[in-house]
Every structure is written in C-alpha cells, then in structure tokens.
Structure 1
Amino acid sequence: MTVLLTTTVLAMPARAAVDDRAANEKDLKAYRMAAEVVVRPVSFGLLVLGSAAFVLTLPFSALGGNVGEAADSLVVGPFDATFRRCLGCTEREF
C-alpha cells in the first residue's frame, strides 16, 4: 500500500508537467497560426519576385546548366512555403 501511494504521489508532478507542456504547445500553435496573417502575404510576394528573377535569369541559368536548381530556389521553395505548408507549421513540421 505504501509503495502504491508513494508511486502515485511522485508521479503527480510529472503528469502536471506533461499537461502543462501540451497546453503550452497548443498556445504556441495558435500564435503561429495568427502570425500567418503576416507571413503568407510575404511568402506570396517572395514567390512573385522569385518567379520574375527566375524568368530574367533563365538564359544565364540555361547556359550554366542549373535551370532546375534555380527553379527550386526561386520558384518551388516560395511556392511550397506559400501554398503547401500547413497553417502555423514550423519548418520541421513541413
């Protein structure tokens, strides 16, 4: 009986810490989602600028043989960040 009581009492702070961490993560996710109001239009602007830069530099990229690399950096990356990334996700959750 003493072992059961001791185990239960010692586990309570650990359980509270886990619940607290989950609540903090949920709050952080909500703040990240709210920040998307600013981030998504900026990502869209980078997509537009990157696409224009890609088209302007396409002849040079073709001569250098790195059209795919330029497209990935200037168009595909910003497109993914704007339209494919989930709302409030961080880079590692992408």
Structure 2
Amino acid sequence: MSPFRILAATLALLFGLQMTPALAQIDGAGSGDPVYEIQNPPAYAMIGDLLIARPILIVATVIGAGLFVVALPFTAAGGNIGRTGKALVVDPGKAAFVRCLGCTGDGYGKQD
C-alpha cells in the first residue's frame, strides 16, 4: 500500500471519529453529560426517598462520623484522613442532604 493511501485512510478515519460527538447531539438527546441532565423523578421515587432512603442515609452519616472518630488514630498513622472522612462522613451526608428528593445524583441543581 502506498504511503499516500495510508495517510488518506488515516485522515479519513480521524475526521470521521471527530464527527461522532456532533452526530450524537443532532438527535436531541442532550449532551450526555450527567452534570447537565435535569432529573424529574416520579412521585413514588420521592416518597420512597423521603420515607426510606433519607433516614437510612442520615443514620449512616452519624454512624460513619462515630467510626471516623474511632478510626482517626489509625488513619492518621496511615496518612489517609481525608479519604476516610470522605468515605465515612461526607459521601453519606452528601447523599442525605445535598441531592434533590428522589434524584439519583447529588448536587445543588435547581429545577423549575
């Protein structure tokens, strides 16, 4: 195969691959980035979240804070206080208090 044909095939492949994000947005499905997705959960998801998930997550946050205090000497010796605090306290707290009612993702996104 000649070098010209190899170069032409490579360029055609690269330009074709660069067009795939533009083609994906043409159908109106959105950007696909979960940061920009607006969630509209149904009523049963909100009720289940309010009555079941939130109390469990609040209890998990409190228990995680207690476990974090107990494990603090060991995590300080290991040098991973931040990761342990995030896993035991911040992540359950964020899921309990930051995300919208019935939503699966966390964030302060306002809905109209």
TM-score by length of 2: 0.56
Q: Which has the higher contact order (CA 8 A, sep 6+)?
A: 1
Instruction: State the partner residue of 1:29.
Output: 42
Shift of 1:49: 0.6
Shift of 1:90: 1.0
Work out the number of aligned pairs and report it.
68
Q: 1:29, 1:57 → 2: CA distance?
A: 40
Pick the structure with more helix per residue: 1
Shift of 1:30: 1.2
Please list every run of 5 or more consecutive structure 2 residues that lacks an aligned counterpart in the other structure: 1-38, 108-112
TM-score by length of 1: 0.66
Aligned-residue CA RMSD (Å)? 1.7
**Structure 1 residue runs of 4+, over 6 Å off?**
none
1:54 to 68, 72, 79: 68
User: Identity percentage over the alignment?
Assistant: 43
Q: 2:66, 2:99 → 1: CA distance?
A: 22
Please list every run of 5 or more consecutive structure 1 residues that lacks an aligned counterpart in the other structure: 1-24
Q: Which amino acid in structure 1 is aligned with residue 60 of structure 2?
A: L
Q: 2:77, 2:48 → 1: CA distance?
A: 40
Q: 1:73, 1:90 → 2: CA distance?
A: 18
2:104 to 86, 90, 94: 90
Q: 2:42, 2:64 → 1: CA distance?
A: 28
Instruction: State the partner residue of 1:20.
Output: none
